[in-house]
Every structure is written in structure tokens, then in C-alpha cells.
Amino acid sequence: MQYVTLNNSVQMPILGFGVYQIPADRTEQAVTDALAAGYRLLDTAAAYGNEEAVGRAIRNSGIPRADLFVTTKLWVQDAPAEENTRRALESSLAALGLDHVDLYLMHQPYGDVYGQWRAMEAALREGLARAIGVANFHPDRLLDLVLNNETTPQVNQIETHPFFQRDPDHALMREHGVQHQAWGGFPEGRNDLFTHPVLSKIAEAHGRSVAQVVLRWLIQREIVTIPKSVNADRMAQNIDVFDFRLTDEQMAAVAALDTGTTLFFDHHDPEMVAWLSKRRLDS
Ligand code: NAP
């Protein structure tokens, strides 16, 4: 495994396992399989409804806690944000059966972001999280958070894949020491990613799969990636990407696929802002 060093010196695996959209009753098996395949970074969220199952798989694996890197995420909180953020983190820790997470992310750039961030900074100081960060923050929101708070987020987890490469976001994050993490690295197969002719040609040249080429492309950009799969063969394939390299020409061929647009939704879209801001996990 290759690691990145976050801006507070914490080491994070560059490749992990995401559990979004894995139903709670299938998550324990999926995480057990992922840990057996060698994954040590697990990415869940309060909003995914499967933290307890992730926790059971961790406990049953017998893998020492220090060898794991566990991420979970805070959903948008009602006021008072500081108090509710603390409660949400405690509830995630209880569900996971852990006394700390390795990374706690603000899942959406909405609500009382500053209040939520202050509570996350307190959690960092107290060791309830070894690192804190955000997700889905566009450059304007990220820069505002960086410039007007004590703690620069360690990570920003954003949609990133060959069709939406996020070069401006990446440059800003690099400038401020925020680690870029990709979600939707395969954009859930959208745009026929797995049979795309450019990616397939590169895959053939290496005797690898398109999925492996995409993961290599992310890793060579020093972007942390967390592919999701419920299939043990694909899990094994997705972690087997550390013994080949894309050439400069192949990196350039993937770079040319960028459309600069989301394949999911835009966090600047007022309808999405309203929908995500109003959503509550218990409703
Ligand atoms: P993804 O990893 O881009 O794509 C997952 C899809 O690819 C699944 O349909 C999976 O099918 C398929 N797949 C996986 N490996 C494959 C392979 N080797 N060959 C062919 N197909 C393959 O999607 P994602 O789950 O949206 O994103 C990854 C993780 O990012 C999530 O699980 C979550 O942890 C995180 N995330 C975060 C946010 C956020 O707002 N912060 C949003 C979305 C996701 P099978 O399962 O059938 O193999």
C-alpha cells in the first residue's frame, strides 16, 4: 500500500474501500471481504446507515485498530450546531464501536458550517478524530473555510473521475495543503466508463482492466480513492494496482476525457442546496 501524509502528519492509505449504497444487511460481509482482500481504509457515513455493520466487520476481523483507517461523515445539523455535531460524532462512534475515527468529514457544505467545524476542531484536539476534513466543498467554500478558521481541513472528498477531473480544485487544495480524495472514481459506471474506448485501449496495453487504469490514473495524480464493490473478485482487482504505471502519454489521453462537469449533481444548484440542507437522518 502507498500512503499520503496529511497536513497534520497523519498517514492515510491512498486507496480504500467505500460502502455507500451497500445495504446495511450486506455491509458486514462486504467489509469482511474487503479487509481480507487487504483494504485498510474504510469510508462510511452516518447518512449511509451502515456504520454498525462496518463496526461489526472491524471487530470480527481481529485486525489491530492501529492498522485501520476509518472515515465517517457528519450529516447537516440543526442549531445549535456545535452541540449537535458533538452528539452526532458520539453516535457514529457508538455505532462503529470505536473510541475514535481516523478521519471525520463534514458531508455537505451546508448548514452552520462554522459551528459544525468548531465542534470538529474540538474533536480533533480531544483525539476523537485523528484528522478532520470536508466533502463536496467547491473551491470558493473551501477557501473561505481555510482562510477564516484555525484548522485547515486535512481532506476534501469530492466527485472526481476521468469525465470530471477537478484540476482547479486540485490546484487549490495542493496550494493549501488539503488532501484531494475522490468519490465516484468510476462514476458508478456512468458514460459507459468500463467499456470506454480510450480507457479500454490503455487497459489492453497493460493487460489490466479499465477499473485498474482509472485507479492508477487517480493514484498517479496523488488522489486518495475509495472504490466501492460488493463483489470479492472486483475488490481484489481494485487493490491490485501498485505494480504498473501509466505512461505520460496514457495520463495525457485520460486527461483529454475531462468534460469539466458533474455526472451526479451540482452542489451549487439551488434545488440540491435546498434538498440536502433540509434532509435529516432520522426523517
Ligand atoms: P464508484 O466506486 O465510483 O463505483 C461503484 C460501482 O462500480 C459499483 O456499481 C460497482 O459494482 C462497480 N465496480 C466496482 N469495481 C468494479 C470493477 N473492478 N469492474 C467493474 N465494475 C466495478 O461509486 P461510489 O460508491 O459512488 O463511490 C465510491 C465511494 O465514495 C462510496 O462508496 C462512498 O464511500 C464515497 N462517496 C462519497 C460521497 C460524498 O458525498 N462524500 C458521495 C458518493 C460516494 P459492484 O459493487 O457490483 O462491483
Domains and CATH numbers, the chain: 3-278 (3.20.20.100)
Active site residue 48: yes
Burial 208-217 (b: 16+ CB within 10 A, else e): bbbbbbbbbb
Looking at ligand 1, which atom is closest to the CA of residue 229? 46
Burial of residue 96, with CB atoms counted within 10 A of its CB: 0-12 exposed, 13-18 middle, 19 or more buried: buried
Looking at ligand 1, which atom is closest to the CA of residue 234? 18
Residues within 6 Å of ligand 1 by CB: 18-21, 43, 107, 135-136, 157, 183-189, 194, 209, 211, 226-231, 234, 237-238
pLDDT tens digits, 24-42: 999 999 999 999 999 999 9
Per annotation, catalytic residue among 48, 104, 110, 114: 48
Location of C-alpha cell 445495504: 23
The residue whose CA has the least distance to atom 23 of ligand 1 is: 184
CA distance linking residue 104 with residue 146, whole number of Å: 16
Query: What ranges make up the beta strands (E) of 81-185?
Result: 103-106, 132-135, 155-159, 179-183
**Model-wide pTM > 0.85:** yes
The residue whose CA has the least distance to atom 35 of ligand 1 is: 183
What is the percent of the chain with per-residue pLDDT over 90, rounded to a whole number?
97
pLDDT tens digits, 208-237: 999 999 999 999 999 999 999 999 999 999
- Model pLDDT, residue 78: 87
Looking at ligand 1, which atom is closest to the CA of residue 227? 2
pLDDT at 283 over 80: no
- For every residue of 134-146, which 3-state class applies, written as one string? EECCCHHHHHHHH
The CA–CA distances, whole Å, from 209 to 8, 57, 205, 234, 276 equal 35, 28, 10, 10, 35
The confidence band for 250, taking pLDDT boundaries of 50, 70 and 90, is very high
